[in-house]
């Protein structure tokens, strides 16, 4: 998307307005970089008030977004819950398209903006609504659980959604011997390892987490006795076996808050470590650098342009939205419970 508006300048007024924000995050953003971010942050925060907008950011967003402009930072479940509850007229989703769709599904009357419409996800791209219908024909009567990393038309076809924070609880809530779990094969395997319910898998994968290997974990541990290794359940099982803790991004944050380890490796997307380091400056984060190219499409300049133009706005056909709302609401009614807590 071309950025038409000239970039705002780093004036003494912008410096004054943004200084308290910078003091909080100075250990993860160099001062020279802040001079570029600060004018955009000041402009976004002003326009956000004028538009009665709320900015929601996934934990994988860059820290200048997560800490500079977001009103809420969280995992997919937290973003869904906040999107459903907000009183704002406009929701700006700093995340990927399935997350913006979630906000629109839960708040159909609101304007939901995704600053870059091309922000996709390899998991969401791995399955279509027709695939779900074929699975239902192949396994008649077996309920379909859908990880929320899927597009609205897929979620409209399934029985219930889940996130990485509540997947086991959702699977067990159905009271059946078997479930179909899609689209993440690795998360499905992780769920299967935690329940007696038989899990029929769809072999989608997250292009960020599937790249981690057991050797990576051993390399992180080398020369760092006592380092606490925490992995996201989208990683392959042989990687999870090497980890000290497995959980959703917010599950990792809660675990760090409870345990306060001295050295931590977060085996997940790169920006997560920066964002958690803002809250826990005393903890040393060894940073694995697997970036999500989709998450990184969202920038401050695009957020500003999106608020100025109120686009790209998410639209979902009413029948699809109604079907997806049913499977999302069924999940939200179950509430938050981590796969690991
Ligand atoms: P959670 O934040 O729900 O753990 O999801 C991770 C992820 O990959 C989202 O794209
Ligand atoms: Fe999708 Fe993986 Fe990126 Fe999350 S990190 S948006 S699951 S590709």
Across the strands, what pairs with 147? 162
What is the reported pLDDT for 270?
A: 92
State the average pLDDT over residues 174-180: 98
State the average pLDDT over residues 16-28: 93
What is the reported pLDDT for 246?
A: 97
Confirm or reject: Cβ of 301 under 6 Å from ligand 2. Answer: no
Which residues touch 89 (CB under 8 Å, ≥6 apart)? 51, 52, 53, 110, 111
Q: What is the architecture, at CATH level 2, of domain 12-120+295-309?
A: 3-Layer(aba) Sandwich (3.40)
What is the reported pLDDT for 83?
A: 83
341 has pLDDT over 50: no
State the average pLDDT over residues 12-29: 93
Total-model pTM: 0.94
Instruction: Give the Cα separation of 149 and 246 in Å (integer).
Output: 18
Domain 124-206 CATH class label: alpha beta
State the average pLDDT over residues 166-194: 97
Q: Which residue has the higher pLDDT, 86 or 179?
A: 179
Radius of gyration of the chain (CA): 20
Q: How far is the CA of 15 from the centre of ligand 1 (A)?
A: 33
Q: What is the mean pLDDT of the chain?
A: 93
Pick the CATH number of 209-286 from 3.40.250.10, 3.40.50.10800, 3.40.50.720, 3.50.50.60: 3.40.50.10800
Instruction: Give the Cα separation of 73 and 332 in Å (integer).
Output: 18
What is the reported pLDDT for 336?
A: 56
Across the strands, what pairs with 146? 161, 182
What is the reported pLDDT for 5?
A: 61
Confirm or reject: Cβ of 295 under 6 Å from ligand 2. Answer: yes
Which strands form 228-231's sheet, in the order they lie side by side?
245-246, 228-231, 263-267, 284-286
Q: Which contacts of 216-224 are long-range, i.e. CB under 8 A and separated by 24 or more positions?
A: 216/267, 216/288, 217/242, 217/243, 217/265, 217/267, 218/242, 220/265, 220/267, 220/286, 220/288, 224/263, 224/286
State the average pLDDT over residues 247-275: 94
- Assign residue 141 a region (left: φ > 0; alpha: ψ between -120 and 50; beta: otherwise): left
Q: Range(s) for CATH 3.40.50.10800 in the chain?
A: 12-120+295-309, 124-206, 209-286
What proportion of the chain, given as a percentage, has pLDDT over 70?
96
CB 166 within 8 A of CB 338: yes
What is the reported pLDDT for 337?
A: 53
What is the reported pLDDT for 230?
A: 96
CB 123 within 8 A of CB 206: yes
58 has pLDDT over 80: yes
Nearest CA to ligand 2 atom 2: 206
1 has pLDDT over 70: no
Ligand 1 atom closest to 248 (CA): 4
133 has pLDDT over 60: yes
197 has pLDDT over 90: yes
Across the strands, what pairs with 144? 180
CB 153 within 8 A of CB 132: no
Instruction: Give the Cα separation of 306 and 44 in Å (integer).
Output: 10
Ligand 2 atom closest to 206 (CA): 2
Q: What are phi and psi of 271, to 5 degrees?
A: -70, -20
Q: What is the DSSP letter of 260?
A: -
What is the full DSSP assignment across 170-218?
HHHHT--SEEEEESBHHHHHHHHHH-SSEEEE--B--TTGGG--HHHHH
Ligand 2 atom closest to 208 (CA): 2
Q: What are phi and psi of 190, to 5 degrees?
A: -65, -45
CA terminus-to-terminus distance, the chain? 41
Q: Which residue has the higher pLDDT, 82 or 288?
A: 82
Nearest CA to ligand 2 atom 1: 121
Instruction: Give the Cα separation of 18 and 36 in Å (integer).
Output: 12
What is the reported pLDDT for 321?
A: 97
Instruction: Give the Cα separation of 169 and 145 in Å (integer).
Output: 11
pLDDT tens digit sequence for 62-79: 999 999 999 999 988 888
How does residue 143 score in pLDDT terms, banded at 50, 70 and 90?
very high
State the average pLDDT over residues 93-112: 95
What is the reported pLDDT for 227?
A: 95
pLDDT tens digit sequence for 235-257: 999 999 999 999 999 899 999 99
339 has pLDDT over 70: no
What is the full DSSP assignment across 123-139?
TGGG--HHHHHHHHHHS
3 state DSSP class of 90? strand
């Amino acid at each position: 998307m071309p950025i038409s508006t000239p970039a705002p300048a780093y004036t003494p007024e912008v410096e004054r307005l943004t200084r308290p924000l910078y003091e909080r995050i100075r250990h993860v953003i160099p001062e020279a970089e802040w001079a570029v971010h600060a004018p955009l942050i000041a402009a976004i925060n002003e326009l956000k008030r004028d538009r009665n907008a709320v900015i929601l950011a996934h934990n994988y967003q860059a820290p200048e977004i997560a800490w500079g402009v977001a009103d809420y930072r969280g995992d997919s479940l937290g973003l869904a819950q906040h999107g459903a509850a907000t009183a704002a007229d406009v929701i700006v989703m700093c995340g990927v398209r399935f997350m913006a769709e979630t906000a629109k599904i839960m708040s159909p009357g609101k304007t939901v903006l995704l600053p870059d419409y091309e922000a996709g996800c390899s998991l969401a791209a791995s399955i279509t609504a027709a695939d779900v219908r074929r699975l239902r024909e192949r396994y008649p009567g077996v309920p379909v659980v859908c990880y929320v990393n899927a597009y609205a038309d897929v979620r409209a076809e399934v029985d219930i959604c889940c996130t990485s924070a509540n997947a086991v609880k959702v699977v067990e809530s159905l009271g059946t011997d078997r479930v179909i779990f899609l689209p993440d094969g690795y998360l499905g395997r992780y769920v299967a390892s935690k329940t007696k319910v038989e899990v029929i898998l769809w072999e989608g994968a997250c292009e960020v987490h599937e790249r981690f290997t057991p050797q990576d974990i051993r390399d992180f541990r080398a020369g760092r006795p006592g380092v606490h290794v925490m992995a996201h359940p989208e990683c392959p099982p042989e990687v999870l076996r090497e980890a000290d803790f497995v959980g959703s991004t917010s599950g990792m944050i809660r675990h760090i808050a409870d345990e306060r380890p001295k050295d931590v490796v977060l085996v997940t997307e790169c920006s997560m470590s920066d964002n958690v380091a803002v809250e826990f400056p005393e903890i040393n984060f060894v940073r694995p650098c697997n970036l999500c190219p989709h998450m990184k499409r969202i920038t401050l300049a695009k957020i500003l342009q999106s608020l100025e133009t109120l686009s790209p706005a998410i639209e979902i056909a009413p029948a699809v939205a109604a079907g997806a709302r049913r499977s999302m609401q069924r999940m939200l009614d179950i509430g938050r419970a981590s796969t690991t807590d």
